[in-house]
Structure 1
Amino acid sequence: MEKSSILRPVILFFFIIVISLLHYLTPLHLPYLHDIFQRLYYLPIILAALWFGFRGGLSCAVVVSIAYAPHLLFQWGGHLTMEMEKYLEILMYNIVGGVTGLLSQREREKTVELQKTARGLEESYQKLQHQSERIITIEEQLRRAEKLSTLGEMAAVLAHEIRNPLGSIRGTAEILKDDYKPGDPKHEFIEIQIKETERLNRVVEDFLHMARPQPADMKPCPIQEELETIVTLVANDARERNIKLVVQPPPSPIIIKADGEKLRQGFLNIIINALQATKPGGSVIIATKTYANGLCEIQFRDTGSGMDEETRKRIFEPFFTTKPDGTGLGLAITKKIIESNGGTLLVESEADHGTTVIVRLPQPTGEKS
């Protein structure tokens, strides 16, 4: 841009000098050449008007007039009646320079206005696109809330109609179990009955946790301590599966304001899923970091088989599961826990390339990390 602003005046000055020299050096007995050179002055005038607008065109016309006037006055003798055409040409230089510059300037102003309008339309489009994405997100949340509302209405009935009979069935099975020794087929059948009763009870418990709104008890929560506690709980399971479970410490302690007990439940669900998805010899890495905008991010990376895009989109839907014995409520509950603490839960995954679960939680203003 700077080179252009310097080069253009140089070009105009060069044109004026060359044309003026042609005038002064050409003999007067060749008037047809002088007429041609006289018209050539319009070239720098029009260029100046196009490049610099009204002021540029008029200024260039004045410079041309000054450069041409001595030739007219001294070489042609200054006879007004004989050279009236040449004097009128000087007037035309200024008229053409001013009018062309004015038109060019207005065109440039219109171009600037159109560019501003285009930028405004682009910004409006981006805002509309952003709002559209937010509306889609809100619609998804409303659909999920509608499902949860339906679950909530059913929760009380399920709690009464299922949990109490389950307790009775389990209690009866445990009494009958004492009547048979280990190795007896009936003893094994009763153990299966007890295990299935426990599994069904877990489904009901998960269902109730999903359906009932649970207020969060927000307190200062050291993230690293919570993660290390959970890893200690599942360390034996990881060893049995021959999976390397690692918690990478952050550069400095990170404290957030959250419901620690519920976060532990959510983190535990994520780590158990990661261990179950990882083959023997693989690894599950947990890393924590903070951002300048006050967000704390916890990443749970596994080297499992990953999942395709269709599965990834549905993993937070209640009762959707890829496990034969899964309830499909674990990740839905985990997402609800994270969101109740003001955070977000994202999943990045690709088939045969592992999965990364990303939890982002806000840090209280003024907290050191």
Structure 2
Amino acid sequence: MKLTGTLRILVLAVSIIGISLFHYLTPLHLPALHDIFQRLYYLPIILAAFWFGLRGGLAASIVVSCLYAPHILFQWGARPSLDMEKFLEILLYNVVGGVTGFLCQKEEERREELERAARRLEDSYRTLRSQADLIIGIEEQLRRAERLSAIGELSAMLAHEIRNPLGSIRGTAEILRDDFPSGHPKQEFLDILLKETDRLNRVVEDFLRLARPVEVEKRTCDLAAELRELVKLLDAEAVTRGVRLTLDADDIPPVAGDPERLRQAFLNLLLNGIQATTAGGSVTVRVREVPRSGDEPAFVELSFNDNGAGIARENLERIFGPFFTTKEGGTGLGLAITQRIVEGHGGSVSVESEQGRGTTFRVRLPV
């Protein structure tokens, strides 16, 4: 227990007065006891120096001297041979109080100086840490901008060099398919050709969508209604895969956003969850409003949870990067597009995953 200043002074006063009373009340024919009491004065003097520094040590030694001097003059005055020894003891009280107080005060000043230095170092560390985080964030944005710039150039090339020939190939395949009756072996190959043409065209569309800036036409958007439509749309896909798709939406206020863009982002996350979940598993979408807390504004949180295989820890940091995918036949653009859409609305998207237990994507949008 740490004593307060008043309590410390009270302890010192009681100690000094108690020792003095022992001196005055002890008969002079017991010099051994007087010697003991004489030495006991050093305890409150040193304690005062330890607690209050130089001023405390000197004050305690002066008080002790004032209380002990009458005892020497009036009780020991009949024995002059002892006077010099007793007065030297008083001198030692003051020397010990002064030296001990000086050293304790210097030690206390040194300790406070070290504490101030430690606080300055801690503040500097926090400042450097925040600046380092800021620099890392800026570098990541620059790298993303460079990647998007490269994607933009590639998209322009794809649109010209691939999309136009794809249109010609599709048109030719449709004409050829009409020349063969239903059930003809060659019509099956033409259907495959049309399907692959459509798939390549979707890849090109994804490239173009990722390369273009996200233009958000904000208007009132009912997230719960949009999600209900998507769940109804994807329910057949989920049933085909043996996956249970559920929606748990609280009564949440509408947000300002582009319903079409947000629907695309949510569709990507739902499809990822359904495709990552094996038969018998489930995909759950939960929506809740998080009220304002301190400096953090209110927001709506949407969580897309599946109990599929999960994502390896080393892949979590790259999961939103363009062209990164763990799905066979995937383009690696869905989550990158989703992140751009959500950030274009002033929100954020994060991922939590554990292999063997599933994955949760959290989307936060300002209210």
Q: One fold, TM greater than 0.5?
A: yes
| Alignment CA distance shift 1:110-1:199 (3 Å) | same
Report the secondary structure of 2:305's partner residue: strand
- Contact (CA 8 Å) 1:182, 1:188: kept in 2 or not? no
**Can you list the C-alpha shifts for 1:152-197, whole angstroms capped at 9, x where unaligned?**
1222221111111111111111111112123211010000000000
- Contact (CA 8 Å) 1:342, 1:361: kept in 2 or not? yes
Report the secondary structure of 1:83's partner residue: helix
**Alignment-derived partner of residue 263 in structure 1:** 262
- Contact (CA 8 Å) 2:214, 2:341: kept in 1 or not? no
Kindly indicate whether residue 331 of structure 2 is the aligned counterpart of residue 332 of structure 1: no
- Contact (CA 8 Å) 1:224, 1:254: kept in 2 or not? no
**Alignment-derived partner of residue 312 in structure 1:** 316
| Alignment CA distance shift 1:272-1:68 (3 Å) | same
- C-alpha RMSD of matched pairs (Å): 2.6
Moved more, 76-85 or 132-141: 76-85
Q: Report deviation, 1:88.
A: 4.8
Moved more, 177-186 or 14-23: 14-23
**Can you list the C-alpha shifts for 1:71-100, whole angstroms capped at 9, x where unaligned?**
223212389997244345435434532443
Size of the aligned set, in residue pairs, is 362
**Equivalents in 2 of 1:350, 1:122: separation in Å?**
35
Which residue identity lines up with residue 254 of structure 1 in the other structure?
P
**Can you list the C-alpha shifts for 1:255-295, whole angstroms capped at 9, x where unaligned?**
32222221111111001000111112211111123142223
**Equivalents in 1 of 2:56, 2:228: separation in Å?**
74
**Alignment-derived partner of residue 366 in structure 1:** none
**Equivalents in 2 of 1:307, 1:59: separation in Å?**
72
The equivalent position to 2:353 in structure 1, one of 349, 353, 365, is 349
**Alignment-derived partner of residue 277 in structure 2:** 278
**Equivalents in 1 of 2:291, 2:102: separation in Å?**
54
Moved more, 266-275 or 119-128: 119-128
- Contact (CA 8 Å) 1:287, 1:298: kept in 2 or not? yes
**Alignment-derived partner of residue 287 in structure 1:** 286
**Equivalents in 2 of 1:82, 1:154: separation in Å?**
106
Moved more, 4-13 or 330-339: 4-13
Report the secondary structure of 1:112's partner residue: helix
**Equivalents in 2 of 1:87, 1:226: separation in Å?**
96
- Contact (CA 8 Å) 1:244, 1:282: kept in 2 or not? yes
| 1:226-245 paired onto structure 2 within 5 Å | 226-245=226-245
| 1:190-229 paired onto structure 2 within 5 Å | 190-229=190-229
| 1:348-367 paired onto structure 2 within 5 Å | 348-363=352-367
Structure 2 alignment gaps of length 5 or more: none
**Alignment-derived partner of residue 367 in structure 1:** none
Moved more, 186-195 or 253-262: 253-262
Report the secondary structure of 1:307's partner residue: coil
Kindly indicate whether residue 110 of structure 2 is the aligned counterpart of residue 110 of structure 1: yes
Q: Report deviation, 1:362.
A: 2.3
Q: Report deviation, 1:137.
A: 2.8
Q: Report deviation, 1:13.
A: 4.6
